[in-house]
A and B are shown apart, each in its own frame.
Chain A
Amino acid sequence: MLDLSYNTIVVLLGTSLLGAGAGLVGSFTVLRGRALIGDVLAHAALPGLCLAFLILGRRNLTSMLAGALVSGLIAVLLLTLLRSATRVKDDAVMGTIRSVFFGGGVVLISYIQNRSVEGSKAGLDSYILGKTAGMIAADVQLIGGVALAALVCIVLLYKEMQLASFDPGFARVQGWPALALDNLQMALAALVTVVGLPAVGAVLVAAMLILPGVTMRFWTDRLGKLLLGAALIGATIGGAGTLASAKFSLLPAGPVIILVGTFIFVLSMLFAPRRGVLARAAALRDFRRMLARQKLLAALYTFCEGPEGDDAWLTDEEIAATLEMSPRAARRVVYDALLSGALQPRESAKGTEYGLTEFGWEHAILIVRGERLWRLYLLEHPDLAGQLVDLDLTKVDEHLPADVVQDLEAKLRAENRLPETDASADAYAAAHRAAGGGP
């Protein structure tokens, strides 16, 4: 069993707070499409950290982190400058700044370690992969302070940050200090990154910023829930990772925290209710089935209109031939339509035959009517085809003005091609509802 000594509790608190802060701040960087900025900040923090140590001559966390913050921000500034002033593209500028600053950091670390005994004990290389075990109460206070500051900023400027995240152009046009908000978000990200360095390390701290926001994005479309959830997920992975690495003392905490986060991320990506991979695959399958069913009903209706229309009973094979489907796919559609009550079976000399029920007939009329109206409309206005995204066959009346529909109907009626329904308004509405997404 795990024993929760004072030390473990301190570390646990520290990593959880760090995770929460990173979740809050990181959500914004993810939304703004700057997920990798944390990575640049973290790598670029290293030289500042070492320079602060060199200048002070001893280990002092606060001033070293201040140094890290300064060099991280210098890197971001350089990034912006080089991006606009040279022809080198975004990605290459990012890679260059990141790796050169990091190289500088490595040089300084080796310099400090080779120079003095004290330097070799400074444990500067723990900032590269992180070392949670060394966390003390003061570190936790620092992390907590930064997380609290991020929370306060976000609560106070919630509306402004929301707009700046989703529509920066509009925010600017409205006369809001979009640049200042941008810089504030960047500064918060830098702060969280820097206080996260001792715990998770420069190489991995970026993932702390990215993972909670991206994970939570699968679960919600609302910013408030996103932030809250990201903070919770961040705290959870921070805590769980620390516990796991404490249990298996061989494992360093930073990588374990990230792996726990990745695990939750993958689960969310697969199983989240609406945006998850499985949910979207299911929605796609349902949509395809609905289309196939509509196609079947429309085909049966059209068949009834034809010369052999009185005998509107078809076998499996005939349906497959009419719909140009494989027999297997046709059987599945027929089964679907039977379940939804639009089709009824009949035994005959040819085997089992299928025909439309009363309900199926109503439904088919709606579909065919919609299809013909759309076709005619698009024939007359081909230029508008691109604007009509939702070409649901049964929703013509919702998308087109009533007079246009009447006009189209009159034209179809003149050709005797308009499916007419004499059912009451109630039956019509019921069939309409059913047509949307099945029974």
Chain B
Amino acid sequence: MSDFVLWGPGAEYTWWNIAVGAIVNSACAILGCFLVLRRMSMLGDAISHAVLPGIVLAYLFAGRDAVFMLFLGAMLVGVLTALLVQTLHRFGGVAEDAGLGIVFTSLFSIGVVLVSNYASRAHIDVNCVLFGDMDFVSLDRFYWGPFDVPRSLPKMLLALGAVIVFVTVFWKELKIASFDPALATAMGISAVAVHYLLMGMTAVVTVAAFEAVGAVICVAMLIVPAATAYLLTDRLSTMTLLAVGVAVLSSFAGCIIAPITGTNIAGMMAVAAGGQFALAVAFAPRYGLLSKAWQAWRLSARIAAEDLTALLYRADETTKPDVPRGLRIVDLLAAVGRGLTGRLALRKLIHSGTVEPSGAGRLVLSVAGRRDAESLIRSHRLWEAYLVEHFQLPLDHLHEPAEHLEHFIGPELQQQLAASLPKADTDPHGREIPPKQN
């Protein structure tokens, strides 16, 4: 397929491909957000396979252009699939995932058998239903008023419009039913009705999309953009918009890369969406792997720094008059594990003036550093005292929990701990608890 151009003669095909892809992908992505949030991705997946017999029957009996019949049939099949899974589960006692696997493969099989038998009369073939034929969609055009547009454009716009209207009208209901089904029921929103409406809409979108991207790839657009957006935000409205963004971008990428490499457009769209998902997994601001690793590292660096100041404070406490104050760098680093994190933490302490050299190659706490350390030691020893006072833990069980928790006890909790102790000036080991700072 060397006739790929973005500008100049013939470019309209590429642009129609992109437009059609963007429309159906967006419709899928918007619904997909609710499927993903309601943890029904696999049901959406099942429905997009299961509509196949519905499509074939609609083509056979109503012809290609009977859009409303097609959509109506699709809604019925979608609701039927969800109902069948429920029925197998409730009355047959079949596990939900197994029931799902059986229902969608069976319906899909019926569809394939129908297609094989009536393919010539229904004007579709299995490959088209599975993978779609984007190029055919862009080539097969008609005049819609004065405009020369792909024949299936009105159908796809209708599906997208239906999805947008559905989501806007039922926004509140969908939102509550997605995040808190129990609350939804308590508020008089029928979670069951929302469930089946969603299933019906999914089926409608699937049948609108199958011509262009195929039923199987449609699944990718239902789930992947929504899952990507889910990694990027906590707000439903933002998530929906982001999912649409991912879907449109997938359409661009698919329609441009596929013709250049001579590959299937729909498959390439799915791969493009997958690529964006992978990027989100790695780089998402809050939930990405990198940012999580960065946050974890920041925390361990803070803990290392705090441990170092506490170490110096304790060294000061126990120092005999004839021994020089402070600790050697080697000993300090050994105490926090000699790792890079410990080194960086120590360097930062020196730079910020929390720790200063005392001569003789030793480090001591500065005045400001001593104040920080006192607060930390106060947390530690208050917690030890608290454990003895209220849980009667033996003395040798105190240090470890206190060592963990000292980093997370703020001034407020310090105050509460002190208030719950009869005397908050010495810890169970008999050492002084540093006083509260002002």
Of the residues B102, B110, B274, contact of A265 by C-beta under 8 Å: B102
A269 to B93 Cα, complex, angstroms: 9
In the complex, the answer to whether B93 meets A275 with C-beta atoms within 8 Å is yes
In the complex, the answer to whether B45 meets A95 with C-beta atoms within 8 Å is yes
In the complex, the answer to whether A251 meets B116 with C-beta atoms within 8 Å is yes
Contacts of B287 in A (CB 8 A): 86-87
In the complex, the answer to whether B220 meets A99 with C-beta atoms within 8 Å is yes
Contacts of B230 in A (CB 8 A): 87-88, 92
Contacts of A87 in B (CB 8 A): 230-231, 287
CB distance from A189 to the nearest CB of B (A): 13
Interface of chain B: mostly helix, strand, loop or mixed: helix
Of the residues B42, B49, B226, B262, contact of A114 by C-beta under 8 Å: B262
Contacts of A269 in B (CB 8 A): 88, 92, 94
Residue A300 at the chain B interface, CB threshold 8 Å: no
In the complex, the answer to whether B108 meets A99 with C-beta atoms within 8 Å is no
Residue B217 at the chain A interface, CB threshold 8 Å: yes
CB distance from B343 to the nearest CB of A (A): 28
Task: Kindly report which residue of chain A lies nearest to residue B227, judged by CB atoms.
Answer: A92
In the complex, the answer to whether A107 meets B271 with C-beta atoms within 8 Å is yes
CB distance from B52 to the nearest CB of A (A): 10
In the complex, the answer to whether B227 meets A277 with C-beta atoms within 8 Å is no
Residues of B207-229 contacting chain A, CB below 8 A: 216-217, 219-220, 222-224, 226-227
A265 to B93 Cα, complex, angstroms: 13
Q: A94-B42, A102-B216 are in contact. Are A203 and B226 (CB under 8 A)?
A: no
Residues of A17-63 contacting chain B, CB below 8 A: 30, 33-36, 38-39
In the complex, the answer to whether A100 meets B277 with C-beta atoms within 8 Å is yes
Of the residues A85, A91, A207, contact of B289 by C-beta under 8 Å: A85
Residue A111 at the chain B interface, CB threshold 8 Å: yes
Contacts of A100 in B (CB 8 A): 220, 224, 270-271, 273-274, 277
Of the residues B110, B266, B277, contact of A96 by C-beta under 8 Å: B277
In the complex, the answer to whether B95 meets A103 with C-beta atoms within 8 Å is no
Contacts of A214 in B (CB 8 A): 94-95, 98-99, 102
In the complex, the answer to whether A99 meets B217 with C-beta atoms within 8 Å is yes
In the complex, the answer to whether A36 meets B42 with C-beta atoms within 8 Å is yes
Contacts of B268 in A (CB 8 A): 103, 107
Contacts of A227 in B (CB 8 A): none
In the complex, the answer to whether A110 meets B264 with C-beta atoms within 8 Å is yes
Task: Kindly report which residue of chain A lies nearest to residue B109, judged by CB atoms.
Answer: A255
CB distance from B388 to the nearest CB of A (A): 34
In the complex, the answer to whether A88 meets B101 with C-beta atoms within 8 Å is no
Contacts of A99 in B (CB 8 A): 45, 216-217, 219-220, 223-224, 270, 274
Residue B113 at the chain A interface, CB threshold 8 Å: yes
Task: Kindly report which residue of chain B lies nearest to residue A106, judged by CB atoms.
Answer: B267
In the complex, the answer to whether A206 meets B105 with C-beta atoms within 8 Å is yes
In the complex, the answer to whether B219 meets A95 with C-beta atoms within 8 Å is yes
1/0 per residue, CB under 8 A from B, across A120-140: the answer is 000001001100000000000
- Surface stretch bound by B, among A228-236, A256-264, A368-376, A384-392: A256-264
Residues of B169-228 contacting chain A, CB below 8 A: 216-217, 219-220, 222-224, 226-227
Residue B1 at the chain A interface, CB threshold 8 Å: yes
Contacts of A159 in B (CB 8 A): none
In the complex, the answer to whether A35 meets B98 with C-beta atoms within 8 Å is yes
Most chain A CB atoms below 10 A, which of B98, B230, B268, B277: B98
A124 to B270 Cα, complex, angstroms: 19
CB distance from B36 to the nearest CB of A (A): 5
In the complex, the answer to whether A91 meets B270 with C-beta atoms within 8 Å is no
CB distance from B373 to the nearest CB of A (A): 36
Contacts of A70 in B (CB 8 A): none
Residue B126 at the chain A interface, CB threshold 8 Å: yes
CB distance from A396 to the nearest CB of B (A): 31
Q: A96-B223, A103-B270, A111-B261 are in contact. Are A203 and B108 (CB under 8 A)?
A: yes
In the complex, the answer to whether A95 meets B105 with C-beta atoms within 8 Å is no
A128 to B214 Cα, complex, angstroms: 13
Residue A109 at the chain B interface, CB threshold 8 Å: yes
In the complex, the answer to whether A107 meets B264 with C-beta atoms within 8 Å is yes
Contacts of B262 in A (CB 8 A): 110-111, 114-115
In the complex, the answer to whether A262 meets B219 with C-beta atoms within 8 Å is no
Contacts of A210 in B (CB 8 A): 98, 101-102, 105
Contacts of A106 in B (CB 8 A): 131, 216-217, 264, 266-267, 270
1/0 per residue, CB under 8 A from A, across B282-315: the answer is 0000010100000000000000000000000000
* B residues whose Cβ falls under 8 Å from a Cβ of A: 1, 36, 39-42, 44-45, 49, 88, 91-95, 97-102, 105-106, 108-110, 112-113, 116-117, 126-127, 130-131, 216-217, 219-220, 222-224, 226-227, 230-231, 258, 261-264, 266-271, 273-274, 277, 281, 287, 289
Q: List 6 A-B contacts (CB under 8 A).
A: A99-B223, A114-B262, A129-B112, A255-B109, A269-B88, A277-B91
Closest 3 pairs between A and B when the two form their complex, measured CB to CB: A103-B270, A100-B274, A106-B267
* A residues whose Cβ falls under 8 Å from a Cβ of B: 30, 33-36, 38-39, 82, 85-96, 98-100, 102-111, 114-115, 125, 128-129, 203-204, 206-207, 210-211, 213-214, 250-252, 254-256, 258-259, 262, 265, 269, 275, 277, 280
